[in-house]
């Protein structure tokens, strides 16, 4: 197993894949450690989480460099990711006890309530695009709830995975409670179905989610799946077009366009279409694609060569089917998995840019007649992770976000983002279950009814 610098194509390091015998031992030790961990008080667990947060903040610059080397994230964005991981650790350190306190319910009993017990050791299968954040947004609530955790990270961010384990152990978390395993995805069924794994969480593609859900389902294990997205951003005729264009461009290019909740499809009503395209194109043209270690870089390389090539294939097929290429779209020569900032117009059903997730700096713009058609097109997707609507009529926009857009996270006049204080997750082929907030910490617990008779 190799990690490769996507900016240069050079191999960073080679890792030996773990045999199942070694993984079996790791899982068994994690379960023994979890039995002791669940006996600790919330305040004791919180002390460890706060220490982890301190290490993340102290080392944010070197962690950003590691992310830049392994998956091409621009440095400033890597620093922000490390800081956000510290935030989620502190958030659950402060709030987990209140989230999991007994829920007293009046019945015919002398006393009845729901108590929340940890499930055991949870397997986390995580992607490369936010190599620290994706893990910590699961691990912080899982550990505070009294669970243990096993991390199987994407192969191309193995260095990040091992660094996460190092940080958690350095904070004093009992040995064995959290471990990283190094194993190819093709060998994960045996791990998923291991008797010592109580539940599984995965962030990744819809295809991966289906495979993991099926394998876990064979042994009746709880799963939480956060999968792909083709987030629609609806720009209505009464929107502040300049602000909308700036927000849309920012969202489309976060993490070099490699985010499940990045804006993907821009659905613009015809009265403001030309104005929006002009503003949006001007902003997209100004973004620099380059070395992630350079401070003025906005868009780094795509994380892997094969991912860049797949993205380019989607663009070419869309153009062949009638989309209009108005910016970018040419695969650059030379080293590195770079791809230009790209805009496609006249995007229509049947094209990859309309039907599929574009995981890179490619924007698909769709002109619609009015608000009614905009909502219809926004919901005309198999995905349902995030969505946004832009309008100066906040009451109308709120109604659209709350009641008409089909997605797990709907924002008004802002780009979709994850926040420890709010639940995060999708519907349809974007998965099920929720991460973050009270809802996230209650995913991997047993909501146990306790009834005391008279």
Please give the positions annotated as active site.
Answer: 226, 260
- Contacts of residue 358, defined as CB under 8 A and 6 or more positions apart, other chains included, come to 230, 257, 264, 311, 314, 315, 352, 364
H or E element, residue 446: strand 445-452
Strands (E), 274-432: 324-327, 342-345, 362-368, 386-390, 409-412, 431-432
Nearest to 343 by CA among 327, 322, 356, 359: 327
Q: What's 93's DSSP letter? A: H
| Pair of tokens at residue 279 | 């503003």
| Pair of tokens at residue 203 | 């962030």
| Pair of tokens at residue 313 | 């294939």
108: buried, middle or exposed (CB in 10 Å: 19+, 13-18, 0-12)?
exposed
Look up tokens 């045996």; give the residue.
190
133-144 and 75-99 are packed helices; what angle lies between their axes, rounded to 10 degrees?
Answer: 20
Q: What's 424's DSSP letter? A: B
Taking the alpha carbons of 214, 216, 222, 227 in that order, is the dihedral positive or negative?
Answer: negative
**How far from chain centre, in Å, is Cα 346?**
29
- Is 330 in a helix, a strand, or coil? coil
CA distances from 12 to 74, 127, 159 (A): 18, 18, 9
Q: What's 388's DSSP letter? A: E
**Whether 435 contacts 444, CB under 8 Å:** no
Look up tokens 């015919």; give the residue.
108
Nearest to 232 by CA among 394, 428, 71: 428
Residue 260 phi, psi dihedral angles, 5° rounding: -65, -30
**Whether 358 contacts 342, CB under 8 Å:** no
């Amino acid at each position: 197993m190799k990690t490769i610098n996507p900016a240069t194509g050079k191999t960073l390091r080679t890792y030996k894949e773990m045999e199942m015998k070694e993984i079996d031992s790791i899982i068994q030790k994690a379960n023994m450690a979890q039995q002791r961990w669940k006996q600790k008080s919330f305040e004791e667990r919180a002390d460890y989480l706060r220490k982890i947060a301190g290490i993340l903040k102290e080392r944010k610059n070197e962690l950003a460099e590691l992310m830049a080397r392994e998956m091409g994230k621009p440095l400033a964005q890597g620093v922000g990711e490390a800081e956000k991981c510290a935030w989620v650790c502190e958030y659950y350190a402060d709030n987990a006890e209140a989230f999991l306190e007994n829920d007293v319910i009046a019945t015919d009993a002398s006393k009845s309530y729901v108590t929340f017990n940890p499930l055991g050791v949870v397997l986390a299968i995580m992607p490369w695009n936010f190599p620290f954040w994706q893990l910590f947004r699961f691990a912080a609530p899982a550990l505070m709830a009294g669970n243990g955790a096993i991390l199987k990270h994407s192969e191309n961010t193995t260095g990040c995975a091992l660094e996460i384990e190092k940080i958690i152990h350095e904070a004093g978390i009992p040995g064995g409670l959290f471990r990283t395993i190094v194993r190819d995805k093709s060998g994960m069924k045996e791990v998923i179905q291991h008797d010592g794994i109580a539940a599984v969480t995965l962030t990744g593609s819809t295809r991966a989610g289906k495979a993991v859900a099926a394998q876990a389902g064979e042994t009746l294990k709880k799963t939480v799946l956060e999968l792909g997205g083709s987030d629609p951003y609806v720009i209505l005729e009464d929107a502040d077009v300049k602000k909308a264009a700036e927000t849309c461009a920012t969202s489309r290019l976060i993490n070099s366009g490699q985010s499940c909740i990045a804006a993907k499809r821009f659905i613009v009503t015809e009265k403001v279409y030309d104005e929006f395209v002009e503003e949006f194109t001007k902003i997209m043209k100004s973004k620099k694609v380059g070395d992630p270690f350079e401070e003025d870089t906005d868009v780094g390389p795509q994380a892997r060569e094969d991912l860049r090539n797949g993205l380019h294939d989607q663009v070419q097929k869309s153009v062949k089917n009638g989309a209009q290429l108005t910016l970018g779209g040419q695969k650059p020569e030379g080293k590195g998995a770079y791809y230009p900032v790209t805009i496609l117009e006249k995007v229509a059903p049947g094209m990859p840019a309309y039907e599929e997730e574009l995981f890179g700096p490619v924007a698909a713009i769709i002109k619609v007649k009015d608000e009614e058609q905009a909502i219809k097109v926004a919901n005309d997707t198999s995905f349902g992770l995030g969505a946004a609507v832009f309008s100066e009529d906040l009451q109308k926009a709120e109604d659209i976000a709350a009641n008409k857009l089909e997605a797990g996270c709907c924002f008004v006049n802002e780009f979709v983002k994850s926040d420890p204080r709010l639940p995060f997750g999708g519907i349809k082929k974007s998965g099920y279950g929720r991460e973050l907030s009270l809802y996230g910490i209650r995913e991997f617990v047993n909501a146990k009814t306790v009834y005391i008779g008279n």
